[in-house]
Structure 1
Amino acid sequence: MTPELGIIEGFYGKPWTWAEREETAACLAPHGYRFYHFAPKADLFLRRRWQEQHPADDAAGLASLSRKCRSLGMRFGVGLSPYEIYLDFNEGVRDALKRKLAFLDEIGIDDLAILFDDMRGDVPDLAEKQVEIAHWLKERSAATRLLVCPSYYTDDPVLDRIFGKRPEGYLEELGQRLDPSIEILWTGEEVCSREFTPGHLARVTKQLRRKPFLWDNYPVNDGPRMSQYLYLRAFTGRPASIGAHIAAHGVNPASQPVLSRIPALSLAESYRLGDAYQYGHALQEAAATVLGADLARRVVGDLLLLHDTGLDRLGDAAQKLRTRYAAFDHPGAREIVAWLDGAWRITQEIMDTQ
């Protein structure tokens, strides 16, 4: 069973261009991708400065992306992260939200995701307050699907260390109180889960009282450590059998838009082929589709250096790789060269300020 597949552009660091977003949607739609959610951490007008209006150029870009996605048969959505709004959901905040909803309705959205991640969670009545906000939004948004990202969107204890200990029974209360039509985003047993299993997803479904809507943090490569790598390998650890246990499967892509399309295509193949899926073969096929045969063979041959070694440990190989890929006239090769030059390095400062 192939679930609804989509892209959730939700990474830190240098954002994609509007053209790169539209090109990615056009590449993936023929392979079964059915939604595109715009939620880059770099868009401060959806995050810390959410009460301010988007600049005119960005508003035009969003409207164009919406039209493009819809023309491809994809739902278009936006992720809104109103910073710690649940601490004081007052009249002024509500008025600002109404203005933001009017803007989103104007550009045209099918999905609205209210994102409560990256915020303190050790506060009284957290689930109750977040449900109140979600229901308020549902009554006023023209979007036909509403999604919520919980403050604790994974079992991973790293969230408790960073954002405070999760309230006891938080997920169960959220699932019980939240309108059953509202989807709940989930990243799995870890922030960047190595695998998803039917057993885990069945347990989460029971907690949330609905199937989780997967926010899959692969091949995303943001963060000071992960930006050292190009995650190019085909998807593993996502057996087709999980399709029956999820509401949808959203992929958080890498900072490199063209290269991200390689693993994204492999996920569609994993669901299509089921037990017949072979991740090595899927990588070769997807790379050839995205890059062309010659460049694909080169990238697959250099996988240990690009995917596994780490930028700061390449040593003399870095210059050899740069020379090799500079010889290709292809946007995928140019992304590799730019990565080698440090164009996508992510610092902790970037993560703290986006």
Structure 2
Amino acid sequence: MTPDQRPTSSPRPTDSTGPASTPRATGPRSDLTRRRALGLAAAAGGGVVAASAAAPALAAGTAAGGGTPGPATPAKELPPVHPVPQKVTVFDGNVSLAGKVSVIVGKDTDDSALAALREVLEDAGASISLITATSEKTTAQGTRIHLGTSEDNPTLAPNLEALGAKGADDLEAEGYVLAAGRSKSALVVLAGRDAAGSFYAVQTLRLLLAGTSRLRQVEVRDWPLMQIRGSIEGFYGIPWSHQARLDHFPFYGRRKLNTYIYTPKDDLLLRSKWRDLYEGEALEDMAELVETATKNHVHFTYALSPGNDITYGSDADFAATVKKFDQVRDLGVTSFYIALDDIPTELGEEDAAQFDSLAAAQAHYLNRLQDEYVKANDLEPLQTVPTEYWGSGPSDYKTAFGTGIDPDIRVQWTGEGVFSPQVTVDSASKAEESYHSEHLYVWDNFPVNDGRRDRIFLNPLEGRADTLHEHFDGFTSNPMIEPYASLPALANYADYCWNPPAYEAEDSFADALDELAGDDRQVRRALDVFVDLNVNWPYRDGSPKAPALAADVEAYRKAYEAGTQGGRADLRTRLNRITELPRALEAMASQGFVDDTKSWMTAASQWAQGIKEQDRMLTALEEGGLKKASRAAASAKANFRAATAATVPDQGDDGVYEEDQITPSVGDGVFEVFIAWAWAQLRDVLPDDPSLPFVGLPATASTTLDQYQDHAPALMVDGDESTMFWSSRAPKKGDTITLELTNPSDLRFVQLKMAKSDETAGDQVYAGVVEASADQETWTKIGTLAGDPVFTKELAQPVRAGWVRVTVTGKNPGGKWVQVREFAVSDEVPSGG
């Protein structure tokens, strides 16, 4: 864990298969090794090509039907498909799926693929007849659609041949061929390399129809470049609800994500109570999750986190692990994971007597599970995240761990850091060597927000090299505490992992937003306004901060200071749209997204309404209407107070859910930039207006607390409540925060503003004493801190001081850090107090 994190995210994997899934290969490297050896991965770029006039049958007619191929169709006329397929050939002409449609399947064709196809055809207006093929020839009416694999549907091969297309058997696992053309009549073939491939062929058909009943004559040959593509619910904080997990799996299926790893950090039955079995509703919910994941071709991996109190060499703890695994294996889980992240690094007495290192103890435990449980029950290879899960450089732990475990065990890695702004080929190559693993894959801590629970992150996945499929088995995203707000980023992972060379971050992200917004253009425009307020990724230098809002703010400021009206209209328009966000986004197709982000929408609306009042204030100042300006300032202040209320729930490691614990942060600080500037304009004209933030005597600030990122101590005394000092750890008894006055003074007033809001406790000093001194030898007590975010003291008698300090006298609850917006003192009591 780095200073950037609270108890923050760790890593995770997947690989489970159920009755409706084709098992993933389990030999060393399997298809992935073969692909790398042949160089197919590097060659595949997601190309769309136009057919030449000599192309065989995917056109207006075929040799059998007496037709000749039509002219090639420009690729741009094809509806967008995400993920981008490896190869698409487009022909002139269409196939209609309205009216009579015969669907020809084998008796063992995947039920999920058939159900998905039925849905697609019904949306297209088809009247469906289902035919179960027993030979290569069938009698069918209307448009014919052949679905399945070569093993379960004997009609695929002759009909692909009639269209001049090759089958899917030479493709990678989960690959497929979609061919549409004419052979005597309209014909579509959806041929999967396996059951998952046939299911994914239907998903591509859905996208190519784009809500119509007409399908372009086309041949798609497609397969994933990464075996593992999905999410790991591995964050701290409120675990996803059961319904949210169920809702994720159809989204994964549509987007060709195949992995979900179940390991929420604050699920007590995974971590602090890992030996306890599931009971009642919890067990029923787990069964429903596994069933729903399997129907959507999502591998459900169950991850246990025993490392806080396990004895690695203990037969009893091994038996407890097996007993827990057996319980969920009975539900259909075939993929298991041991999470060894964020745990003590010192061995207990019993293990220390048996093993010479932590890595050796862990390897013993993992190998025993791999040999005696996984292999014995013919399950998919065990997966794990090691205790050192970041950094590509070698270490004694990585060497002992990597060389000690069974080479078939899959190992997760987070990149160069816990949060990795970039994952490069150089890092990947070094990590493979350092971990001594041919089965490394990435636990990607994006867009996870458990270290910044006040934020939601709505920016696309960037900074991952487009050839990492040559090094890793795949990626799993560690998403946000808010499950539906995480969907745009998960769509990015779907597109990236399927075809990295063809991945375009902005295009992929926009496509996901289109789906979540629905068909209403005004809703989609409002969603763009909201996304702009949440794009900053604080773990990447140079990540933009509300760029559209920031541009409008800057234009307004320049226009005001120049005394012109031009340049102010765009900000006013944007503020109007922001104030309308809670209403405008109610009409989104994804109500889950609306519910997840409601607190941030509301806060944004309140910030914008306050700035609209400041705009009125500034206009009144220009016109000399001082009373009107003061009334607008008071109204603005009330809106800002509402915007800083705690409205987001939270949950600690005790598993207790609590409402209204966190103040949502929105706008990436750009709102606050305007607010501070506007107050400065008011101060120039009405310096005693009670709406103004209090500015104290000149002073410098220092602290024994380490700072978080660029939140330096100087921000405590800059007269701007929109900026703050922020520690990178919880305070310890004896830590201090100190003001040194530029000139010693007789103090009459002291004010300390902590957390993000005057009204709501948060990151702050919960137990402390405030003192003043003229010589740093003798200190006079001013008051005590007892849990309120704001400390204000009017002194009955002045106290001569050159220094004022806060000394921590007790622990913060929940390990909370410390934020100080302003620490100010004065030789008089301010009128606005």
Name the SS of the counterpart of 1:145 in structure 2.
coil
Matched, 1:63 2:287: yes
Name the SS of the counterpart of 2:648 in structure 1.
coil
Q: Quote the Cα distance in structure 2 between the aligned partners of 1:176 and 1:305.
A: 46
Quote the RMSD (CA, aligned, Å).
2.9
Q: Quote the Cα distance in structure 2 between the aligned partners of 1:220 and 1:236.
A: 14
1:36 corresponding residue in structure 2: 260
1:196 corresponding residue in structure 2: 423
Q: Quote the Cα distance in structure 2 between the aligned partners of 1:235 and 1:272.
A: 14
2:366 corresponding residue in structure 1: 134
Deviations 1:251-271 (A, max 9, x none): 111112112111111222234
Which of these residues, 295, 298, 305, is aligned with residue 81 of structure 1? 305
Q: Quote the Cα distance in structure 1 between the aligned partners of 2:457 and 2:293.
A: 25
Deviations 1:184-228 (A, max 9, x none): 1111111111111111011111122224111111111112xx212
User: Which consecutive unaligned segments of at least 5 residues does structure 2 have?
Assistant: 1-40, 42-224, 348-355, 537-544, 547-574, 604-645, 656-812, 816-833
Deviation at residue 72 of structure 1 after TM alignment = 1.5
Deviation at residue 281 of structure 1 after TM alignment = 2.4
Within 5 Å, give how 1:135-154 maps onto structure 2: 135-138=367-370, 139-141=372-374, 142=377, 143-154=379-390
Say if 1:297 and 1:151 are closer, same or farther in 2 by CA, change over 3 A: same
Q: Quote the Cα distance in structure 2 between the aligned partners of 1:215 and 1:171.
A: 16
Higher strand share: 2
Name the SS of the counterpart of 1:153 in structure 2.
coil
Q: Quote the Cα distance in structure 2 between the aligned partners of 1:236 and 1:216.
A: 12
Within 5 Å, give how 1:90-109 maps onto structure 2: 90-109=314-333
Which of these residues, 434, 441, 463, is aligned with residue 237 of structure 1? 463
1:169 corresponding residue in structure 2: 396
Say if 1:72 and 1:276 are closer, same or farther in 2 by CA, change over 3 A: closer
TM-score normalized by structure 1? 0.85
Say if 1:307 and 1:324 are closer, same or farther in 2 by CA, change over 3 A: farther
1:205 corresponding residue in structure 2: 432
Within 5 Å, give how 1:214-233 maps onto structure 2: 214-223=442-451, 226-233=452-459
Q: Quote the Cα distance in structure 1 between the aligned partners of 2:230 and 2:302.
A: 13
Name the SS of the counterpart of 2:484 in structure 1.
helix
Which of these residues, 339, 342, 349, is aligned with residue 647 of structure 2? 342
1:162 corresponding residue in structure 2: none
Say if 1:100 and 1:297 are closer, same or farther in 2 by CA, change over 3 A: same
Say if 1:152 and 1:267 are closer, same or farther in 2 by CA, change over 3 A: same
Once the two structures are overlaid, the 10-residue window that deviates more, 272-281 or 246-255, is: 272-281
Matched, 1:331 2:592: yes
Deviation at residue 179 of structure 1 after TM alignment = 0.6
Q: Quote the Cα distance in structure 1 between the aligned partners of 2:426 and 2:399.
A: 17
Deviation at residue 64 of structure 1 after TM alignment = 0.9
Which amino acid is the alignment partner of residue 363 of structure 2? V
Say if 1:299 and 1:78 are closer, same or farther in 2 by CA, change over 3 A: same
Say if 1:321 and 1:252 are closer, same or farther in 2 by CA, change over 3 A: farther
Which amino acid is the alignment partner of residue 369 of structure 2? L
Higher helix share: 1
Matched, 1:264 2:490: yes
Deviation at residue 147 of structure 1 after TM alignment = 0.6
Within 5 Å, give how 1:177-188 maps onto structure 2: 177-188=404-415
Q: Quote the Cα distance in structure 2 between the aligned partners of 1:55 and 1:86.
A: 22
**Percent identical:** 23
Deviations 1:70-97 (A, max 9, x none): 1222211111001335545323323322
Count of aligned pairs between the two proteins: 337
Which of these residues, 270, 274, 277, is aligned with residue 53 of structure 1? 277
Q: Quote the Cα distance in structure 2 between the aligned partners of 1:300 and 1:26.
A: 25
* Residues 110 and 145, structure 1, Cα contact 8 Å, conserved in 2: no
Deviation at residue 247 of structure 1 after TM alignment = 1.3
Deviation at residue 321 of structure 1 after TM alignment = 6.5
Q: Quote the Cα distance in structure 1 between the aligned partners of 2:389 and 2:298.
A: 25
* Residues 269 and 282, structure 1, Cα contact 8 Å, conserved in 2: yes
Say if 1:88 and 1:241 are closer, same or farther in 2 by CA, change over 3 A: closer
Which amino acid is the alignment partner of residue 342 of structure 1? T
2:338 corresponding residue in structure 1: 114
User: Which consecutive unaligned segments of at least 5 residues does structure 1 have?
Assistant: 158-166, 311-315
Name the SS of the counterpart of 1:8 in structure 2.
strand
Q: Quote the Cα distance in structure 2 between the aligned partners of 1:179 and 1:272.
A: 28
Matched, 1:15 2:239: yes
Once the two structures are overlaid, the 10-residue window that deviates more, 343-352 or 194-203, is: 343-352
Name the SS of the counterpart of 1:44 in structure 2.
coil
Once the two structures are overlaid, the 10-residue window that deviates more, 148-157 or 182-191, is: 148-157
Name the SS of the counterpart of 1:288 in structure 2.
helix
Say if 1:273 and 1:83 are closer, same or farther in 2 by CA, change over 3 A: closer
Which amino acid is the alignment partner of residue 217 of structure 1? N
Q: Quote the Cα distance in structure 1 between the aligned partners of 2:454 and 2:283.
A: 32
Which of these residues, 245, 249, 255, is aligned with residue 475 of structure 2? 249
Matched, 1:304 2:539: no
Name the SS of the counterpart of 1:54 in structure 2.
coil
Q: Quote the Cα distance in structure 1 between the aligned partners of 2:415 and 2:291.
A: 32
Which amino acid is the alignment partner of residue 299 of structure 2? R
* Residues 86 and 133, structure 1, Cα contact 8 Å, conserved in 2: no
Once the two structures are overlaid, the 10-residue window that deviates more, 191-200 or 331-340, is: 331-340
Say if 1:26 and 1:352 are closer, same or farther in 2 by CA, change over 3 A: farther
